[in-house]
Homo-oligomer: A and B are copies of this chain.
Amino acid sequence: MTAPLTVALLGGGTVGASVAQLLGEQAEELAARIGRPIVLTGVAVRNPDKARPGVPADLITTDVAALAASGADIVVEVIGGIEPAKTLIETAITNGSSVVTANKALLAAHGASLHALAEKHGVDLFYEAAVAGAIPLLRPLRESLAGDTVRRVLGIVNGTTNFILSKMYNDGADYATVLKQAQDLGYAEADPTADVEGFDSAAKAAILAGLAFHTDVTSDDVYREGMSTVSADDIAAARAMGMVIKLLAIAELSEDNSGVIVRVHPAMIPVTHPLASVRDAFNAVFVEAEAAGDVMFYGRGAGGHPTASSVLGDVVVAARNRVAGYVDHSHSTYADLKVLTIGDAQTSYYLNLQVADEPGVLAAIANEFAKHEVSIQTVLQDGHGNSANLVITTHHATDKQLSETVEGLRGLSAVREVSGVMRVEGRAN
């Protein structure tokens, strides 16, 4: 074998330490799979005094800019966030290094310019670990489904919210109680905003949408609702209807193929849908493609070793490409579709209404649905005293029609409260 390929590692946190450790432990296997040895040339960290098991002490440096500019064959960025990660990756690319990153926020915000820069300098830019951690997903979407037309991608891509929703469902507990438990267990951050308000899922949705529909999509294009408003009542209602509630990241082609819609929000799905059994901190992405039909990818969405596994997969492919003098060109945005608003999405609603229990109420309500051309699928009435509880699910309509119907219902004198509204996704299987 000839001279080794070099890897520079920017970041020595949980994922970085796992990458360094696995690169060391699996040196022989990786060399065999690549066709040349591969060596770590440096690990840039902020605090050089912190103990980092598995990271060779002599490789540690605090000069991250110099390591990024070192011209290594492959630069791995696992620092996260927009800056300095963006500048460091640009430095690496302009110095001829292929880049592997797990940075979803950066890719969702600046993917287009980074891809263009990588193309210009003839290097690879891979980021399998940025979405759904250990699950091989982006490469299959880009390559294995390259001969198909993807219609919709439905993902559970945030482990924290899935853990919380699973616990709320199993224990009947409310959001605040379960969030506290998740924080105590280390599944949720002290400030859980990025997870529970859907920002993390939105970045991943943007990346998935870009790959699935060959179009440049950024985080700002993603419609976003968090899961902190999901109540124990909503979950009880879901259970009664044979549904579960998940925070979904959805990217879809509009029915007339004219644009894409990308959205993150809590949704009910049938318990028989493959996504319904994705529990706790696991992730899964469900793809509806024209020829392939339904395909699902399932696994761990986070954690040092799982994320490092994805990073190393990218490192091996980038290294093989270096050996062959090849650069991956599978990224494309040729379709350049319009990103449509949530109002254009075709979906169904679940509604929970508190209404006066008097003659003519159901007629008034049904009339409001008809006015917006929304067709009712099921009505469940449950009376107590002079008021009644109505649980309604609708057939498919545009989100605009559905939200206008809710607005109209709120204006009816017989409707005392609209206590629950949620989208319903996923065909029963």
Any chain B CB within 8 A of the CB of A370? no
Any chain B CB within 8 A of the CB of A116? no
Question: Min CB distance, A380 to chain B, in Å?
Answer: 27
Residue numbers in B under 8 Å from A277 (CB-CB)? 274, 277
Task: Report the stretch among A90-98, A182-190, A311-319, A386-394 that lies at the interface.
Answer: A311-319
Residue numbers in B under 8 Å from A134 (CB-CB)? 289, 291-293, 295
Question: Min CB distance, A274 to chain B, in Å?
Answer: 6
Any chain B CB within 8 A of the CB of A33? yes
Closest to A305 in B: B291
Contacts A143-B316, A332-B33; is A309 near B136 (CB within 8 Å)?
no
Which of B148, B296, B297, B315 interacts with A147 by CB under 8 Å? Answer: B315
Contact between chains at A143 and B139 (CB < 8 Å): yes
Contact between chains at A309 and B18 (CB < 8 Å): no
Contacts A33-B214, A299-B295; is A144 near B313 (CB within 8 Å)?
yes
Contacts A277-B274, A329-B324; is A145 near B309 (CB within 8 Å)?
yes
Closest to A274 in B: B298
Q: Mark A142-159, 1 if CB is under 8 A from B, else 0.
A: 011111110000000000
Any chain B CB within 8 A of the CB of A294? yes
Contact between chains at A316 and B147 (CB < 8 Å): yes
Any chain B CB within 8 A of the CB of A47? no
Residue numbers in B under 8 Å from A327 (CB-CB)? 324
Any chain B CB within 8 A of the CB of A26? yes
Contact between chains at A306 and B329 (CB < 8 Å): no
Which of B32, B147, B335, B429 interacts with A279 by CB under 8 Å? Answer: B429
Cα distance A317–B303 in the bound complex, in angstroms: 31
Cα distance A308–B289 in the bound complex, in angstroms: 12
Contact between chains at A147 and B309 (CB < 8 Å): yes
Q: What copy number does this chain have within its complex? A: 2
Contacts A33-B332, A128-B144, A326-B326; is A291 near B316 (CB within 8 Å)?
no
Contact between chains at B279 and A317 (CB < 8 Å): no
Question: Min CB distance, A208 to chain B, in Å?
Answer: 14
Residue numbers in B under 8 Å from A136 (CB-CB)? 140, 143-145, 295
Residue numbers in B under 8 Å from A274 (CB-CB)? 277, 298
Considering only residues 43-59 of chain A, those with a C-beta below 8 Å from chain B are: none
Any chain B CB within 8 A of the CB of A30? yes
Any chain B CB within 8 A of the CB of A330? yes
Contact between chains at B294 and A299 (CB < 8 Å): yes
Contact between chains at A312 and B147 (CB < 8 Å): yes
Contact between chains at B292 and A299 (CB < 8 Å): yes
Cα distance A296–B274 in the bound complex, in angstroms: 12
Contact between chains at B295 and A143 (CB < 8 Å): no
Cα distance A114–B415 in the bound complex, in angstroms: 71
Which of B306, B312, B329 interacts with A146 by CB under 8 Å? Answer: B312
Considering only residues 280-304 of chain A, those with a C-beta below 8 Å from chain B are: 289-300, 303
Any chain B CB within 8 A of the CB of A24? no
> What are the 3 tightest A-B residue pairs by CB atom distance, in nearest-first order?
A147-B312, A136-B144, A136-B140
Apart from A145-B309, A147-B308, A147-B313, what are 16 other A-B pairs with CB-CB below 8 Å?
A: A22-B147, A22-B148, A30-B147, A32-B214, A33-B330, A33-B334, A135-B295, A136-B145, A139-B144, A144-B314, A146-B317, A290-B305, A292-B305, A295-B297, A295-B299, A320-B330
Task: List, sorted by A's number, 25 A–B pairs whose CB atoms are closer than 8 Å.
Answer: A26-B147, A26-B149, A29-B149, A32-B334, A33-B146, A128-B144, A134-B291, A136-B140, A136-B144, A136-B295, A139-B139, A139-B144, A143-B316, A290-B305, A291-B305, A291-B306, A291-B308, A292-B306, A292-B309, A292-B310, A293-B300, A293-B303, A297-B297, A298-B298, A320-B329
